[in-house]
Amino acid sequence: MFTNLTHHPAITQEQHRALPFVSNTDLSRLADELLGRPQRDCAAAFAFGTHFHGATLEPRLFTPTNDQDPVDHRQRQQAARLAAAIRRRRYPRHVLYLGQAEQSYTATHEATGITVKVRPDLLIDSPKRRRRTLIDFKTTSCKDLPQFLTTVEQYGYDRQAALYADVLGAHRVVLIAVQKKASKGQEPQVWVVELSMTQMETGRKKYSKLLRCYAEQQMEQQLVKVLAKGFGGAKLVAA
Q: How many domains does the chain have?
A: 1
Helix (H) or strand (E) holding 160: helix 157-168
The pLDDT of residue 228 is: 72
Spell out the long-range contacts of 197-200 with Cβ–Cβ below 8 A and sequence spacing 24 or more. 199/152, 199/153, 199/158, 199/161, 200/158, 200/161, 200/162, 200/165, 200/173
List the CATH number of the domain containing 119. Answer: 3.90.320.10
Other CB atoms within a 10 A radius of the CB of residue 223 amount to: 12
The pLDDT of residue 236 is: 53
* Partner residues linked to 12 by β-bridges: none
* Partner residues linked to 10 by β-bridges: none
* Residue 186: partners with Cβ closer than 8 Å, 6 or more residues away: none
pLDDT tens for each residue of 39-81: 776 777 888 999 999 999 999 999 999 999 999 999 999 999 9
Burial class (CB in 10 A: 0-12, 13-18, 19+), 21: middle
Average pLDDT of the chain, as a whole number: 92
As a whole number, mean pLDDT of residues 80-98 equals: 96
With bands split at pLDDT 50, 70 and 90, how would you rate the model's confidence at 237? Answer: low
The pLDDT of residue 43 is: 75
DSSP 3-state of 222:
helix
What's the one-letter identity of residue 227? L
The pLDDT of residue 37 is: 85
Check if the beta carbon of residue 161 is closer than 8 Å to that of residue 203.
Answer: yes
Q: Residue 119: inside a domain, yes or no?
A: yes
Q: Is the pLDDT higher at 36 or at 157?
A: 157
The pLDDT of residue 212 is: 97
Please check the confidence at residue 33 and state whether its pLDDT lies above 70.
yes
**Residue 80 φ/ψ, nearest 5 degrees:** -65, -40
Q: Residue 200: inside a domain, yes or no?
A: yes
Domain that holds residue 206: 2-230
Q: Residue 239: inside a domain, yes or no?
A: no
Pairing of strands 190-194, 172-179: antiparallel
The pLDDT of residue 130 is: 86
Q: Residue 235: inside a domain, yes or no?
A: no
As a whole number, mean pLDDT of residues 185-211 equals: 97
Q: Residue 236: inside a domain, yes or no?
A: no
Q: Residue 21: inside a domain, yes or no?
A: yes
The pLDDT of residue 227 is: 73
Q: Residue 214: inside a domain, yes or no?
A: yes
Q: Residue 127: inside a domain, yes or no?
A: yes
How far apart, in Å, are the Cα atoms of 20 and each of 16, 17, 199?
A: 9, 8, 29
